Amino acid sequence: MFLIDDILLAPLKGVIFIGKKINEVIDREMSDEGSIKEQLMALQLKFEMDEIDEETYDQREDDLLKRLENIRNEKQKNQ
């Protein structure tokens, strides 16, 4: 009985495993200071190359700086 259950549930377990891995990558990406700094530099480059307007730049920069501040606050709380 358990063998049949394992066979039938294998695809579901695979999807759950993949979902957990994707969630881990997203959490790491959202809490990585280096990644946010890279995004800030890319944003600044787009602005300097006139690919985005100043309003869009300011809005995205504020979002990224808030994320960076939140990450730093969390790190301080955990120390």
- The letter for the amino acid at 4 is I
Query: Going residue by residue through the chain (79 aa), what tens digit of pLDDT does each one get?
Result: 577 777 777 888 888 999 999 988 887 777 788 889 999 999 999 999 999 999 999 999 999 999 999 988 988 887 7
Contact 44, 68 (CB under 8 A): no
* Phi, psi (degrees; rounded to nearest 5) at 52: -135, 155
